[in-house]
């Protein structure tokens, strides 16, 4: 099923993205933000989903790390400079055309921009940002992403079953060669 990470040279032009979190970077001399972005599946139609459009794993980053308790966790954030976050704020569309005034208000805003691979995750090129025509619809996104994930799971299971059937057929063929 659709997962942009499957292609090493994955890029998406003018992708519709929703900001799911913005966190001020901590530490000496850090002035930027860690931003969690995901592909928005909210405008997909049933026909789009059947055609394999949309993202079954929509976050731009799935970074593994070990927390202070030694447990593996996943971070969905990507680092952006303060100026890049301001560029996102300038085009971020919230419901009701509310203006984004602070970085924290970006959460829930939708943006459009080119996405490219960078250091093991995907990143939006803030020089290509545009303000979307429609606000984000979380309910539709949640519903469509769940369908995309089910479709991806079914495709993985079918592929695994086919691989198992092929392996069984090869083993059966190998044993018949030695019987005669």
pLDDT tens for 25-68 read 999 999 999 999 999 999 999 999 988 888 888 899 999 999 99
Number of domains in the chain: 1
CA nearest to 33, candidates 113, 98, 104, 99: 104
Neighbouring CB atoms inside 10 A of 176's CB total 9
Give the CA distances from residue 33 to residues 66, 86, 156, in Å, rounded to whole numbers and listed in that order.
Answer: 20, 10, 36
* pLDDT at residue 8 is higher than 50: no
What does the alpha-carbon distance between residue 109 and residue 87 come to, in Å, rounded to a whole number?
A: 13
Average pLDDT, the chain: 87
Structure tokens at 169: 């057929």
The per-residue pLDDT for range 96-149, each reduced to its tens digit, is 778 899 999 999 999 999 999 988 899 999 999 999 999 999 999 999 999 999
pLDDT value of position 12: 85
For residue 76, what are its two tokens? 């969905």
Structural domain boundaries, residue 83 = 4-179
Tens-place pLDDT, residues 89-98 = 999 988 877 8
| pTM (predicted TM-score) | 0.80
Model confidence at 163, pLDDT cuts 50, 70, 90, reads: confident
Query: pLDDT tens digits, residue range 57-74?
Result: 889 999 999 999 999 999
């Amino acid at each position: 099923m659709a997962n942009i990470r499957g292609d090493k040279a994955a890029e998406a032009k003018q992708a519709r993205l929703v900001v799911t979190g913005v966190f001020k970077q901590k530490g000496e001399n850090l002035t930027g933000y860690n931003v969690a972005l995901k592909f928005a599946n909210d405008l997909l139609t049933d026909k789009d989903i059947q055609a394999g459009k949309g993202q079954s794993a929509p976050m731009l980053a799935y970074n593994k790390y070990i927390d202070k308790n030694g447990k593996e966790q996943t971070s969905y954030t990507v680092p952006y400079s303060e100026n890049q976050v301001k560029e996102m704020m300038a085009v971020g569309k919230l419901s009701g055309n509310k203006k984004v005034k602070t970085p924290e208000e970006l959460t829930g805003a939708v943006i459009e921009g080119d996405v490219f691979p960078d250091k093991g995750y995907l990143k939006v090129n803030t020089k290509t940002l545009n303000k979307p025509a429609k606000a984000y619809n979380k309910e539709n996104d949640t519903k469509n992403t769940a369908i995309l994930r089910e479709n991806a799971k079914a495709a993985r299971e079918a592929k695994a079953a086919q691989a198992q059937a092929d392996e069984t057929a090869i083993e059966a063929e190998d044993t018949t060669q030695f019987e005669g």
